[in-house]
């Protein structure tokens, strides 16, 4: 088979994948086929089938491929800067889509979408980031904002600065989330300390902290685990004994 015949065969294969997608979406697609099509956006005339398989073998999952650094992706044989750009661009576009989808939606009725967005945006990051979701009186989502990057604990995050930003948004409630690059979603002692400090400062300004989410391979919710209720009781005892309530 000469080069022209080989290219025509590959083009026919990619055309069939596109037709399948237009007809039924991603139903029936393997992860390798999805990655193959994404890679082809960068090099439309190149057969990307083997490169897609090699990516999955190297990074072990579809999500890990999209989370991988472009420099690491280009270490795979057959993948160049244009392919790596295509994957990174798709990932960033999806992040923006999920974030924009949340605007003006009720957090209470869209909590799964919030988790989907945070997991997509934060899982796989090599450093810790802290994201705040600002909510209005009806718990509609006003905006989301990354407020810190690096080590996330009570000594590096200043609750008053978060509250200051909340007041600027006219927010009456917050959800905070941060990631654990290790992949574990188990809260640390510093996570508990940060949650208590922020809950106390928020309560003094009549702002409700609805949840603290930790994103790893899965996620941990302080609200779902009952921890926020315990912290609420602790805050009430502190403010009452201090004469602040």
**What is the rounded distance in angstroms from the CA atom of residue 22 to the CA atom of residue 231?**
50
DSSP string for residues in 53-70:
HHHHHHHSSHHHHHHS-H
**What is the rounded distance in angstroms from the CA atom of residue 205 to the CA atom of residue 186?**
29
For the chain, the 3-state helix, strand and coil shares in percent, each to the nearest 5, are 55, 15, 30
Question: What domains are there in the chain, each with its CATH number?
Answer: 3-95 (1.10.150.20), 105-242 (3.40.140.10)
- Helix (H, G, I), strand (E, B), or coil: what is residue 212? strand
**What is the rounded distance in angstroms from the CA atom of residue 35 to the CA atom of residue 58?**
13
Cα 5 from chain centroid (whole Å): 42
Distances (CA, A) of 194 to 184, 185, 189: 18, 15, 9
Q: Please check whether residue 227 is in contact with residue 214, taking contact to mean a CB–CB distance below 8 angstroms.
A: no
pLDDT in tens, the chain (245 residues): 445 444 455 567 778 888 888 888 888 899 999 999 999 988 887 888 999 999 999 999 998 899 899 999 999 999 999 999 999 999 999 888 887 877 767 776 777 888 888 888 888 788 899 999 999 998 888 888 999 888 776 556 788 899 999 999 999 999 999 999 988 999 999 999 999 999 999 999 999 999 999 999 889 999 989 999 999 988 888 777 766 65
Give the closest residue to 209 by CA, choosing from 109, 113, 121, 135.
Answer: 135
Q: Please check whether residue 235 is in contact with residue 199, taking contact to mean a CB–CB distance below 8 angstroms.
A: yes
Alpha helices per DSSP H over 25-157? 31-42, 49-59, 62-67, 70-73, 81-102, 111-122
Q: What is the pLDDT of residue 9?
A: 54
Give the closest residue to 32 by CA, choosing from 58, 7, 12.
Answer: 58
Q: What is the pLDDT of residue 125?
A: 84
Q: Please check whether residue 85 is in contact with residue 71, taking contact to mean a CB–CB distance below 8 angstroms.
A: no
pTM: 0.67
Buried b or exposed e, range 121-155, using 16+ CB within 10 angstroms = bbbbeeebbbbbbbbbeebbbbebeebbeeebbbe
């Amino acid at each position: 088979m000469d080069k022209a015949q080989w290219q025509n065969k590959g083009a026919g294969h990619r055309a069939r994948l596109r037709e399948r997608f237009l007809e039924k979406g991603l139903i029936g697609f393997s992860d390798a086929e999805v990655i193959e099509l994404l890679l082809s956006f960068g090099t439309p005339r190149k057969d990307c089938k083997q490169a897609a398989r090699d990516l999955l073998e190297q990074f072990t999952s579809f999500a890990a491929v999209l989370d991988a650094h472009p420099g690491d992706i280009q270490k795979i044989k057959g993948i160049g800067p244009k392919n790596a750009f295509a994957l990174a661009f798709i990932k960033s576009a999806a992040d923006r889509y999920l974030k924009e989808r949340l605007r003006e939606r009720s957090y209470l009725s869209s909590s799964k979408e919030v988790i989907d967005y945070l997991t997509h945006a934060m899982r796989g990051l090599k450093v810790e980031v802290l994201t705040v979701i600002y909510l209005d009186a009806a718990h509609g989502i006003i905006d989301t904002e990354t407020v810190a990057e690096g080590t996330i604990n009570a000594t590096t995050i200043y609750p008053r600065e978060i509250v200051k930003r909340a007041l600027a948004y006219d927010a009456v409630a917050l959800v905070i989330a941060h990631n654990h690059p290790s992949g574990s979603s188990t809260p640390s002692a510093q996570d508990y300390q940060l949650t208590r400090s922020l809950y106390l400062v928020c309560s003094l300004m009549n702002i409700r902290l609805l949840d603290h989410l930790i994103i790893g391979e899965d996620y941990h919710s302080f609200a779902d685990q009952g921890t926020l209720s315990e912290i609420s009781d602790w805050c009430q005892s502190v403010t009452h004994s201090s004469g602040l309530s």
